[in-house]
Amino acid sequence: MPELPEVTVISEDVAALAKDREVLRAAVFRPDVTNVEPEEFTRRLVGRRLRGTGRRGKIMALDFGDVVGIVHLVISGRVLRLDEWTEPDRMNTAILEFDNGLVLAFTRLWLGYFDLYEPGAEEKHPLISRLGPDPFSEAFTPEYLTEAFRRKASIKSLLLDQSVVAGLGNIYVDEVLFTAGVHPARKANTLSAQKIQKVHAATRDILGRAIELRGTTFDSYHDAFGETGKYQHELKVFTRAGEPCPKCGTLIEKSRVAGRGTHVCPACQPL
Ligand SMILES: [Zn+2]
């Protein structure tokens, strides 16, 4: 599932391809792809120009002026360029055609969605209204994390919780905690101030580097130009179970923490 770096890259790509372009055609495959009737989806987007794109956590926001599109790519959802307009289908679940000939397909939105909102109303979207601070925002400080970590929950479950910090998912949480030398199952309220500093710094460093490398291609992620990311080559523990730790040589172990497959160096990340 695309996390903060991948959604950043996709939303910047969509802006690079379609900003200031007018929507000529728009359609969704089925009513469950969006929060409005399929005819209304078409009517509200056709004739609008894309003013810009943004990101809220792992959710992409498309600004069409009087309409805001909120796109959540879940699991293997992607944004693809098609050669020409085609009617949406089970794979290409929502399609937009712009006046420069660009046709963008938002794929596999059965679990995600492409919802339409009045400007400002998207803040009430259930997944947006409860988002915690963005890792690159001023509100995301070691002091903020210290407060957020005053709980007995595992550090991994808190970092995955979008109301604590917006945008992290399973890949980057494992990488952040390895870099910080913190075991994912560690109770958050037992972390030292120094470890919290490290978690904070590693979060920004790793996400920033992953954006530079245009994301991680683990299963199906590609950017809107159809290219894979490059950050998978820099993953230290994620998907590396059984391989030597890049810091100490101990074999990376895989277990389950917070209900998710979790990758740990037992020597660098003691519980
Ligand atoms: Zn190690």
pLDDT digit string, tens, across residues 73-96: 877 778 999 999 999 999 899 999
pTM as predicted: 0.93
Which stretches of 99-246 are DSSP H helices?
A: 126-129, 142-148, 155-160, 170-180, 193-212
| 260 is annotated as an active-site residue | yes
Domain stop point among 78, 108, 129: 129
- Same domain membership, residue 255 and residue 157: yes
CA-to-CA separations, 133 to 21, 56, 57, 129, 189, in angstroms, rounded: 31, 9, 9, 11, 19
The mean predicted confidence, pLDDT, of the chain is 93
Q: Is 13 within the bounds of a domain?
A: yes
- Same domain membership, residue 160 and residue 120: no
Domain stop point among 75, 95, 129: 129
Give the per-residue pLDDT at 221: 63
pLDDT tens-digit series, residues 248-265: 999 999 999 999 999 999
| 2 is annotated as an active-site residue | yes
| 212 is annotated as an active-site residue | no
Is residue 6 within 8 Å of residue 216, measured between CB atoms? Answer: yes
Distance of CA 215 to the CA centre of its chain: 10
CATH code (residue 121): 3.20.190.10
- Same domain membership, residue 194 and residue 102: no
Residues 165 and 128: their CA atoms lie apart, in Å, by 12
Task: State which residues of the chain have pLDDT below 70.
Answer: 218-222, 224
Ligand 1 center–CA 183 separation, angstroms? 11
Q: Provide the residue range defining the domain that includes 247.
A: 142-264
